[in-house]
Amino acid sequence: MKVTFITGNQHKVKEARGIFQQFDIRLEQVDLGYPEIQGELTDVACYGAKYAAKKLGKPVIVEDAGLFIKALEWFPGTYSSYVQSTLGNEGILKLMKNVHDRYAEFRSVIGFATPKTEPEIFLGVVGGNIAHHEKGKRGFAYDPLFKPESCDLTFGELTIEKKNELSHRRRSMESFAHWYEDFVENKD
């Protein structure tokens, strides 16, 4: 089985290839850029998938993800991309100075669409805590800040294989992969 992943983020592609390996799904990447409307992760993923499927004339997936911190009223959330490139991880740590409740979630939404069908969405969430300092050089963006539940290390300290066992992306993509197996089987 093959699926086209619309993204310019090579880290996401590498993680997705690892996750899809066990499902025998081959990933093709297309860095197509799509309008990122303002809204929930689900709105962005749905709109992006529909747009890209129509533009390329084939089935695609897009992913929208973000870091949601409870004590900051779930900020940066849907602003994660903007906040990463402006405040960065140091800025988040400043906002979290003297904050006792460090609970946070990474959320990932996969949108799948074909040129002829309405989008399907798949959600993945992993709970955890914001570390007091950046730790680790692996991964990308917020990874050095986030310690998944039941783990003493940040995503930035984990190998890609270990992150792939625990991550929000693993959960959304696995849920998509199960559904996609049936979809492909019953297509014709």
Tell me if 29 contacts ligand IMP by CB under 6 A. Answer: no
Select 121 or 141, whichever has its Cβ closest to ligand IMP: 141
What CA–CA distance (Å, rounded) separates 153 from 166?
A: 12
Query: In this chain, which of 23, 34, 140, 179 binds ligand IMP, going by CB under 6 A?
Result: 140
When the beta carbons of 67 and 184 are compared against ligand IMP, the nearer one is 67
* Least gap, CB of 107 to ligand IMP (angstroms): 9
Among 6, 18, 122, 143, binds ligand IMP (CB under 6 A): 143
Residue with tokens 């991880």: 89
Q: Cis bond leading into 76, ω under 30°?
A: yes
Residue 31 is a catalytic residue: no
Nearer to ligand IMP, 66 or 128 (CB): 66
The b/e string for 106-141 (b: 16+ C-beta within 10 A; e otherwise) is bbbbbbbbbeeeebbbbbbebebbbbeebbbebbeb
How buried is 4 (Cβ within 10 angstroms: 0-12 exposed, 13-18 middle, 19+ buried)? Answer: middle
Among 152, 119, 130, smallest CA distance to 69 is for 130
Residue 34 in the binding site for ligand IMP (CB under 6 A): no
Q: Two tokens at 76?
A: 């940066």
Give the per-residue contact string, 62-101, with ligand IMP (x = CB under 6 A; - = no): -xxxx-------------xx--x-----------------
Q: How far is the CB of 115 from ligand IMP (least distance, A)?
A: 23
Q: Is the dihedral of CA 126, 132, 137, 141 positive or negative?
A: positive
Q: Which is nearer to ligand IMP, 4 or 9 (CB)?
A: 9
Considering the rule CB under 6 A, would residue 141 count as an interface residue with ligand IMP?
yes
Burial-class residue 50 by CB neighbours within 10 Å (0-12, 13-18, 19+). buried
120 binds ligand IMP (CB under 6 A): no
How many residues touch ligand IMP under the rule CB under 6 A: the total is 16
The residues carrying an active-site annotation are 64
Binding residues vs ligand IMP (CB under 6 A): 9, 63-66, 80-81, 84, 106, 139-143, 155, 169
